[in-house]
């Protein structure tokens, strides 16, 4: 169990890092902290004592305890560093994004500090606190659970207050209106679905992640394509899932739809290529052939598209280029402050056709 004084210490430290306590601002009195945390005065004094010795707070005898001005500490000379926060580091397309950023930043003389949130808000908070605790020139961040209001917004505002520029990749927190580099996810979702509709599919499953904004926008494209082709959407064919559910819910719901007694769907639109791999396992289990029995389309054009016996169609993601462009954008913000402010980047999708789509089997019988 974490000692009580450490909980108090972390609370005060977090208030400093998210900007709630500013330099030279008086913090709550010992008595107020005792009441707030329901602990002894000794516990409070131990927490404050460590924060004073570590340079986070200072005392004025007879007056109170104040937040230290850490800007002077953080401005001490060190190698220039850029922090990169992504939802994942070693999985899927993220190594390519990180590699692109690292390569560019290394050429420009910057050190890279990596943080992974695993799409968890608490881990994002910890990453931001680590960044604000050390000397970092700028930040490249992929938002965590970007479909929802973020409780860590104060930390990004504190980056702004300290003059630390940041850019966001893959998504962005709309409240902050940051510079960002994103895919046109709505158009990508439209193109996935349009391709299948043009082939003659009318009974299409759509599977989308619902706690990242990319999923919501790709589903919007899915719906728009159906409307453009005047094809009704069966709500029972739309599957949504959260990060915590990604290994169970989509697979189980697709299995149930395939086992249902009513008409079997003829195509599947997937949120990303990782999901395609999971669904292909279910199709094998049900002894269904791709694309003869069912067509499937992914998103991101990751290396996974070529790793199975079925080379599958997917929407192209810029991957390494996004990392390079994000790095160039943050360096531009740091080194050309007097110049015109750079612009955000929107990457247009491209459908990469492979072997996983064909006319629906009912149409094939007629031709």
Answer whether residue 364 shows pLDDT above 70: no
- If asked whether residues 313 and 340 sit together in one domain, one would say no
- If asked whether residues 178 and 127 sit together in one domain, one would say yes
Alpha-helical runs (H) found in 38-147: 41-53, 71-74, 94-107, 121-133
- If asked whether residues 230 and 360 sit together in one domain, one would say yes
User: Number of structural domains, the chain?
Assistant: 3
- If asked whether residues 104 and 251 sit together in one domain, one would say no
- If asked whether residues 215 and 280 sit together in one domain, one would say yes
Residue 144's pLDDT is 96
Residue 339's pLDDT is 64
Residue 306 in tokens:
């070529």
Answer whether residue 366 shows pLDDT above 50: no
- If asked whether residues 132 and 83 sit together in one domain, one would say yes
The pLDDT tens digits of the residues spanning 152-189 come to: 999 999 999 989 999 999 999 999 999 999 999 999 99
Q: How far is CA 152 from the centre of its chain?
A: 14
The mean pLDDT value of the chain amounts to 92
- If asked whether residues 194 and 273 sit together in one domain, one would say yes
Residue 367's pLDDT is 44
- If asked whether residues 247 and 356 sit together in one domain, one would say yes
Exposed/middle/buried for residue 293 (C-beta within 10 Å: 0-12, 13-18, 19+): middle
As beta bridge partners, residue 57 has: 67
Backbone angles phi, psi at 111, to 5 degrees: -85, 150
The pLDDT tens digits of the residues spanning 7-16 come to: 888 889 888 8
Answer whether residue 151 shows pLDDT above 80: yes
Residue 291 in tokens:
């694309």
pTM of the model: 0.83
- If asked whether residues 324 and 314 sit together in one domain, one would say no
Separation CA 68–CA 55 (nearest Å)? 7
Residue 79's pLDDT is 58
Domain that holds residue 252: 185-318+351-366
Can you tell me which residue has the tokens 């939802």?
87
More confident residue, 299 or 44: 299
CATH number of the CATH domain containing 102: 3.40.50.2300
Q: Give Rg (Cα) of the chain.
A: 25
Residue 135 in tokens:
């000397």
Backbone angles phi, psi at 168, to 5 degrees: -120, 145
Q: What percent of the chain stands above pLDDT 90?
A: 72
User: Which DSSP letter does residue 113 get?
Assistant: E
Residue 365's pLDDT is 42
Judge contact between 92 and 301, C-beta under 8 A. no
- If asked whether residues 179 and 325 sit together in one domain, one would say yes
């Amino acid at each position: 169990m974490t000692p009580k004084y450490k909980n108090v210490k972390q609370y005060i430290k977090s208030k400093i890092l998210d900007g709630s306590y500013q330099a030279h601002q008086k913090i709550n009195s010992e008595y107020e902290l005792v009441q707030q945390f329901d602990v002894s005065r000794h516990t409070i004094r131990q927490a404050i004592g460590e924060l004073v010795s570590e340079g986070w707070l200072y005392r004025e005898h007879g007056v109170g305890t104040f937040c230290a001005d850490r800007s002077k500490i953080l401005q001490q000379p060190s190698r220039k560093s850029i922090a990169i926060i992504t939802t994942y580091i070693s999985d899927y397309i993220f190594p390519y994004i990180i590699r692109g950023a690292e390569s560019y930043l290394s050429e420009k003389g910057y050190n890279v500090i990596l943080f992974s949130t695993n799409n968890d808000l608490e881990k994002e908070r910890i990453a931001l606190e680590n960044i604000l605790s050390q000397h970092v020139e700028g930040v490249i961040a992929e938002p965590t659970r970007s479909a929802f209001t973020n409780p860590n917004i104060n930390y990004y505002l504190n980056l702004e207050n300290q003059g630390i520029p940041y850019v966001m990749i893959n998504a962005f927190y709309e409240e902050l209106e940051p510079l960002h580099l994103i895919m046109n996810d709505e158009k990508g979702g439209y193109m996935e679905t349009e391709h299948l509709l043009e082939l003659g599919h009318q009974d299409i499953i759509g599977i989308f992640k619902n706690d990242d904004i990319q999923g919501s926008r790709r589903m919007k494209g899915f719906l728009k394509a159906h409307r453009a082709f005047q094809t009704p959407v069966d709500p029972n064919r739309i599957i949504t899932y959260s990060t915590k559910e990604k290994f169970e819910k989509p697979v189980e719901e697709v299995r149930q739809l395939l086992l249902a007694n009513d008409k079997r769907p003829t195509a599947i639109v997937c949120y990303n290529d990782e999901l395609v791999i999971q669904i292909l396992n279910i199709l094998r289990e049900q002894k269904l052939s791709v694309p003869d029995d069912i067509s499937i389309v992914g998103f991101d054009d990751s290396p996974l598209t070529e790793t199975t016996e079925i080379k599958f169609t997917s929407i192209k993601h810029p991957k390494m280029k996004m990392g390079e462009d994000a790095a160039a954008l943050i360096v531009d913000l740091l080194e050309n402050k007097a110049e015109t402010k750079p612009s955000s980047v929107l990457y247009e999708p491209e459908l990469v056709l492979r072997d996983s789509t064909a006319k629906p089997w009912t149409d094939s019988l007629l031709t």
